[in-house]
Structure 1
Amino acid sequence: MKSTKRSILFALFSVGAALALGAPAALAQHDHGAAPKAQPGHNDGGHSHGPAAKAPDTYSKAVAEMAARAKEVEEALNKGDLDAAHDEGDAIAAIAKSLGALALKPDSGVEKGKVKDINLAGKEIAEQMDAIHEAGEKKDMAAAKAAFAKGKVQIDSLAAAAPAKYFCPMHCEGAKTYDKPGECPVCHMKLKKQTSEQFSVTVKPVGGKLEAGKPVNLLFTLMDPRGMQVKDVEIVHEMPLHLLMVSKDLSWYAHEHPALQPDGTFTFTWTFPAGGEYTLFHDFTPKDVGMQVVPVTLKVDGVPAAPVALKADSDKPKTVDGYTVTLNTGGPVTTGKPTTMSYTIAKDGKPVSDLTPYLGAMGHLVIMSQDLKEFVHSHPHEHAEGDHDHAKQGHTDMKGGPKVDFEAHFKAAGLYKGWAQFQHNGKVITVPFTFNVAKGEGSGEAKPHEHGK
């Protein structure tokens, strides 16, 4: 397994609906304000996003990503959020301009006679997305919607005509795919059509059932879009798999690391504190693909905990295990622009300036929206004061604090809860804060997205 360290990482994910046990879908990652760049980074099996994302390298992936981002543009416009709409539109425009070149690749599956039409469609899409950007700057919602409607016609047409991929259901030839239906040359079974570009995770209890207050062994299997097990994953922040678990009302949270087994699966023994619904976010990075975050919802038998109402509390310090932590966001948190989340840690009235790295970083910050549709995973701007080369080499003699800064970017307004983790004297401190995110300027007149009613 390859080892990778994300020293400065921000990732924002749109989750969508909750997922049933054994039938998860991968999260799409979204970078706002930057078009995909051709450099190493993170993607989700076709949807390249994030500060270090890379552009789609195949025609099929490019069309799939445009279609996925078009849904985000449509959702943003329906909410009156022009900022998010033109940011996603910018990314679509960048992809659209590359369609002709990608279609010309020998393995694109595109007939040569159709390349010219694809190139023209790409130019039309780019023009309409540029028009959305201009409309966003002028705060002209009607013009933005009109431009999107024209661009979406072309995107839908390309998506409907995109060449399908087929693979052997027995994976006789590994990850190899074919552009036409037929049979596997090895086992002669009928090739199966690939219907998704997303990774997934299956979670199964072994030798027991999901029951509150009782330990259960869980088996995790990572799957690629073809339904083939993923065995080669990179080590990121010292672990191949980060498991972030949260209760439905966000009152309970845990960050754990299942153990990798020789067959490529992961195992983990856990005791859930109460009955009810839990969402497990699986953060892993398949080799040569990029970071994936896959949510799976589990239902645990037993008496549920009393629901805890979520209320903003970031204006007051929090005391956890004898540590006093304050959060400063530099003013109201809004959509459409990055926010610096500054945490200051003290103990017994004195600043803590000797924090040590935890899992390869001076801190970890996970933020979720109340409806679990938005997910942020961020790491500090800097590892610590000192030699950054030492951090890259895995040295743990670095010190940090008392202030640790993270960067976060929010697409949707609403109520959010974040859990920051730091390490001091060998002990990991987890500090929760809840805060509101308001709709930023240029986002139209829509009211902030409200949940829980």
Structure 2
Amino acid sequence: MKKSIFTGVVALTLVLSGCGAKMDHSNMNHEGNNTAIPQAGEMSHGENHGGGDTTAKDDNLKVTWKLTAEKPQSNQNDDLTIQVQDKDGKPVQDFEIQHEKLMHLIIVSKDLSYFEHIHPEYKGNGLFTITTKFPNGGDYKLYADFVPKGGEKSVKEHVVTVEGAAPHVAALNPDTDKPKAIENKEVTLSFDKLKAGEELTINFNIKNETTKQPISNLQPYLGAVGHVVIISEDTGLYLHVHPMDEKATGPDAKFMTTFPKSGTYKIWGQFQHEGKVFTVPFTVKVP
């Protein structure tokens, strides 16, 4: 199978695979409160299971997004509904389970300082719902990642403008090659090479921060040793990648991907250890 585009996290290692496809901007109706986040012109999305699955946009689908609050406020719970329909406006009834869920919803702030990976509940008739909150004022990008029954993987996007105090937007600076500490873990991100347009291997190496001993008893998170999401600095490119060996338990978690073009990317690696999920963010500049 042909391998394509996707993902990774700290001394620099990343993994993802997918395909390039234009992102669907239709039905982004937030009661007129949308403020566009700059786009890259094309949205790439897909996933790599180590086998190199290629995914494409499904033009026969459309999504309607709605928050209960006409003007969502920061740090307040809000109910979000995501309605999936076919090209004729009829609800899509059935969805494939991908990594234990029918839909993965990724939420990031415009400056990529905030990240959330959640799973809306399916109510039937193409309707997904979830309660969430946005921590600060400003613009957020939402990516709904799902597979209609018998169809292809689809990623639909939406922009929400939240009222309230917005934090200072810091520049997205690439991380150095030193490990990153989180949840008493020391995580090192590394690549066999780092170049746009070429397939590469990303590795997350995870140790105990105090003892420096390798952690080899990672637990499955959503059916795999880890998951990686990569988003470009302008939020125009979205990559969701899964490990080469889903049954791995550490200390290494390897992924494969191809960055579609040069630029700065934020990478979030998610893993589970001793019953707790931890997320490690990295920023890389891809030549």
TM-score by length of 2: 0.82
> Which residue matches 1:44?
57
Distance in 2 (alpha carbons) for counterparts of 1:27 and 1:225: 20
Q: Is the 2:96–2:149 Cα contact (8 Å) retained in structure 1?
A: yes
Alignment of 1:106-185 (within 5 A): none
Counterpart among 18, 35, 51 of residue 11 in structure 1: 18
Which one has a larger percent strand, Structure 1 or Structure 2?
A: 2
Number of equivalent positions: 256
The alignment status of 1:337 with 2:198, answered yes or no, reads: yes
Alignment of 1:79-90 (within 5 A): none
Distance in 2 (alpha carbons) for counterparts of 1:17 and 1:234: 20
Q: After TM superposition, give the deviation of residue 361 of structure 1 in Å.
A: 1.0
Cα distance 1:202–1:219, how it changes in 2: closer, same or farther (>3 A)? Answer: same
Distance in 2 (alpha carbons) for counterparts of 1:355 and 1:314: 25
Q: After TM superposition, give the deviation of residue 205 of structure 1 in Å.
A: 1.3
| 1:41-64 deviations in Å (ceiling 9; x for gaps) | 74322xxxxxxxxxxxxxxxxxxx
Counterpart among 364, 368, 376 of residue 227 in structure 2: 364
Q: After TM superposition, give the deviation of residue 200 of structure 1 in Å.
A: 2.5
Cα distance 1:28–1:311, how it changes in 2: closer, same or farther (>3 A)? Answer: closer
Q: After TM superposition, give the deviation of residue 429 of structure 1 in Å.
A: 0.9
The alignment status of 1:346 with 2:195, answered yes or no, reads: no
Q: After TM superposition, give the deviation of residue 11 of structure 1 in Å.
A: 2.0
Q: Is the 1:13–1:376 Cα contact (8 Å) retained in structure 2?
A: no
Counterpart among 151, 155, 162 of residue 300 in structure 1: 162
Q: After TM superposition, give the deviation of residue 367 of structure 1 in Å.
A: 0.5
Greater alpha carbon shift after TM alignment, 208-217 vs 365-374: 208-217
Cα distance 1:9–1:309, how it changes in 2: closer, same or farther (>3 A)? Answer: closer
The AA in structure 1 aligned to 2:144 is H
The alignment status of 1:21 with 2:34, answered yes or no, reads: no
Distance in 2 (alpha carbons) for counterparts of 1:325 and 1:361: 18
Distance in 1 (alpha carbons) for counterparts of 2:16 and 2:111: 26
> Which residue matches 1:181?
none
The alignment status of 1:271 with 2:133, answered yes or no, reads: yes
Q: After TM superposition, give the deviation of residue 308 of structure 1 in Å.
A: 1.9
Q: After TM superposition, give the deviation of residue 244 of structure 1 in Å.
A: 0.6
Counterpart among 250, 253, 262 of residue 413 in structure 1: 262
Distance in 2 (alpha carbons) for counterparts of 1:251 and 1:265: 29
> Which residue matches 1:137?
none
Distance in 2 (alpha carbons) for counterparts of 1:273 and 1:283: 22
Q: After TM superposition, give the deviation of residue 30 of structure 1 in Å.
A: 7.7
Cα distance 1:355–1:420, how it changes in 2: closer, same or farther (>3 A)? Answer: same
Q: Is the 2:27–2:64 Cα contact (8 Å) retained in structure 1?
A: no
Q: After TM superposition, give the deviation of residue 202 of structure 1 in Å.
A: 1.4
Cα distance 1:345–1:437, how it changes in 2: closer, same or farther (>3 A)? Answer: same
Counterpart among 412, 426, 441 of residue 275 in structure 2: 426
The AA in structure 2 aligned to 1:424 is H
Q: Is the 1:20–1:298 Cα contact (8 Å) retained in structure 2?
A: no
The AA in structure 2 aligned to 1:337 is E
Identity of aligned residues (%): 36
| 1:299-320 deviations in Å (ceiling 9; x for gaps) | 1111112112100005121111
Q: After TM superposition, give the deviation of residue 355 of structure 1 in Å.
A: 0.4
Distance in 2 (alpha carbons) for counterparts of 1:17 and 1:292: 10
Cα distance 1:222–1:405, how it changes in 2: closer, same or farther (>3 A)? Answer: same
Alignment of 1:174-253 (within 5 A): 197-206=59-68, 209-253=71-115
Distance in 2 (alpha carbons) for counterparts of 1:254 and 1:302: 19
Q: After TM superposition, give the deviation of residue 22 of structure 1 in Å.
A: 2.3
Distance in 1 (alpha carbons) for counterparts of 2:106 and 2:19: 15
Gaps in structure 2 of 5+ consecutive residues: 1-14, 35-41, 48-52
> Which residue matches 2:286?
437
Gaps in structure 1 of 5+ consecutive residues: 1-7, 32-39, 46-196, 386-399, 439-453
Query: Whose radius of gyration is greater, 1 or 2?
Result: 1
How well do the aligned residues superpose, as a CA RMSD in angstroms? 2.6
Distance in 1 (alpha carbons) for counterparts of 2:19 and 2:173: 22
Give secondary structure in 1 for the equivalent of 2:18: strand
Q: Is the 2:64–2:83 Cα contact (8 Å) retained in structure 1?
A: yes
Cα distance 1:371–1:27, how it changes in 2: closer, same or farther (>3 A)? Answer: closer
Distance in 1 (alpha carbons) for counterparts of 2:161 and 2:217: 41
Q: Is the 1:336–1:411 Cα contact (8 Å) retained in structure 2?
A: yes
TM-score by length of 1: 0.53
Which one has a larger percent helix, Structure 1 or Structure 2?
A: 1
Q: Is the 2:46–2:56 Cα contact (8 Å) retained in structure 1?
A: no
Cα distance 1:18–1:320, how it changes in 2: closer, same or farther (>3 A)? Answer: farther
Distance in 2 (alpha carbons) for counterparts of 1:222 and 1:228: 8
Cα distance 1:350–1:19, how it changes in 2: closer, same or farther (>3 A)? Answer: farther
The AA in structure 1 aligned to 2:252 is K
Q: Is the 1:12–1:409 Cα contact (8 Å) retained in structure 2?
A: no
> Which residue matches 2:9?
none
The AA in structure 1 aligned to 2:118 is E
Q: After TM superposition, give the deviation of residue 207 of structure 1 in Å.
A: 5.7
Distance in 2 (alpha carbons) for counterparts of 1:403 and 1:366: 17
| 1:217-267 deviations in Å (ceiling 9; x for gaps) | 111111223332222111110000000111111111100001111443111
